[in-house]
Amino acid sequence: MRLTSFSDFGLRTLLMLGSGEHDTWSSAELANKLNVSRDHLIKVVQRLAVGGYVQTTRGAGGGVKLNRRPAEIRLGEVLEWLDGNSPLTECFRDDGGQCLLAGFCALRSKLDRARKMFYTELNTWTLADCINPALEEFAALSLQSL
Amino acid sequence: MRLTSFSDFGLRTLLMLGSGEHDTWSSAELANKLNVSRDHLIKVVQRLAVGGYVQTTRGAGGGVKLNRRPAEIRLGEVLEWLDGNSPLTECFRDDGGQCLLAGFCALRSKLDRARKMFYTELNTWTLADCINPALEEFAALSLQSL
């Protein structure tokens, strides 16, 4: 198992947004800070926006900011939301996938329970539990270097 | 999060090996049955062999067979073994990865705990819990069709 790059950068984006003393980041600032392409970052931000985790505004002075307080963002919930479009295995796809064992595999239900335990464990923490002075310092530095 | 193709096919390989009434499968039979390239399957089988889950023998009449009874193969343990070479995120890499937040990210330890809960939940079952008549029938059919 591994996190998709999409979900991974989703979490990192939230870490940045929750750490800065400034509210709003441009996508260029975030992409630069996280060392990821702006295109990839924008897709991640769009997914977070649809889930209600961030707000985006267009135009001069616009950008991305958190739509909830860090203490209100449970890590398992937001990761499950980010993971929404990437099935755990072939047989978790909406169309049922291509695995020939799908009709009689007893593994799927067990993987699904384990997947839920993964998110449940992460739900014991919020984004606020991940914010610390070093992260805030790193987030603040980004603005000066851009 | 998602299973890597490597781990996914590792589990499917074990399902086949545990289901057939015959002991030994050739890699061609397994690859054909699981609809995966023989090269990919051989890498998976090699990993399972190093972990002591399967035995391989060369030559005529050789092939792959389980090295333990299905009831002795815990699903979380074997998946963790298969996952061994694919880190959950960048920062789980042996070399520490490239993430700029690595030095002060409070997320890694939480992801690690959640990952362990995933395997722990799967360890409540063994391969034997995944074997059923339909799977055995599917495994038996493969020999006739090859």
Q: Give the pairing type, strands B63-66 and A54-57.
A: unpaired
Q: How far is CA B69 from CA A119, B16, B73, B112, B134, in A?
A: 31, 13, 7, 30, 19
Distance, CA of B56 to CA of B23 (rounded, Å) = 11
Q: Give the pairing type, strands A54-57 and A63-66.
A: antiparallel
Distance, CA of B144 to CA of B146 (rounded, Å) = 6
**Tens-digit pLDDT profile for residues B70-100:** 999 999 999 999 999 688 888 888 887 888 8
| Contact between A98 and B4 using a beta-carbon 8 Å cutoff | no
- Chain A positions touching B120 (Cβ under 8 A) are 117
User: How many residues are present in chain A?
Assistant: 146
Contact B137, A106 (CB under 8 A): no
Chain B residue with Cα closest to A114: B118
Q: What is the largest CA-CA distance in chain B?
A: 57
Is residue A89 very low, low, confident or very high in pLDDT (cuts 50, 70, 90)? confident
Supply B131's token pair: 């074997």
Q: In this predicted structure, what is the pLDDT of residue A87?
A: 83
ipTM: 0.90
Contact A48, A62 (CB under 8 A): no
- Chain B positions touching A76 (Cβ under 8 A) are 114
- Chain B positions touching A113 (Cβ under 8 A) are 121
- B38 to chain A, minimum CA–CA distance in Å? 16
Token pair 């970052």 in the structure block, residue: A41
Q: Which of residues 38-97 of B touch A (CB under 8 A)?
A: 75-76, 79, 83, 86-90
Q: Which of B2, B34, B35 sits opposite A89 (nearest CB)?
A: B2
Domains, chain B, ranges and CATH? 5-145 (1.10.10.10)
Q: Any CB–CB contact under 8 A between B3 and chain A?
A: yes
User: How many CA atoms within 13 Å lie on the side-chain side of A135?
Assistant: 23
Task: Give strand pairing partners of B56.
Answer: B64
Is B6 exposed, middle or buried, given 0-12, 13-18 or 19+ CB atoms closer than 10 A? middle
User: DSSP class of residue B55?
Assistant: E
Q: State yes or no: pLDDT of A146 exceeds 60.
A: no
End-to-end CA distance of chain A: 35
Q: Any CB–CB contact under 8 A between A125 and chain B?
A: yes
Helical (H) or strand (E) element with B109:
helix B108-122
Q: Name the pTM for this structure.
A: 0.91
| Contact between B130 and A11 using a beta-carbon 8 Å cutoff | no
Token pair 């699904």 in the structure block, residue: A112
Chain A residue with Cα closest to B122: A114
Q: Which of A34, A91, A121 to mutate to test the interface with B (most CBs of B within 10 A)?
A: A121
**Tens-digit pLDDT profile for residues B104-126:** 888 999 999 999 999 999 999 99
Q: State yes or no: pLDDT of A144 exceeds 60.
A: no
Long-range Cβ contact pairs of B66-73 (< 8 A, separation 24 or more): B66/B14, B66/B17, B66/B18, B66/B23, B69/B128, B70/B18, B70/B126, B70/B127, B70/B128, B70/B130, B70/B131, B71/B126, B71/B127, B71/B128, B72/B126, B73/B14, B73/B18, B73/B126, B73/B127, B73/B128
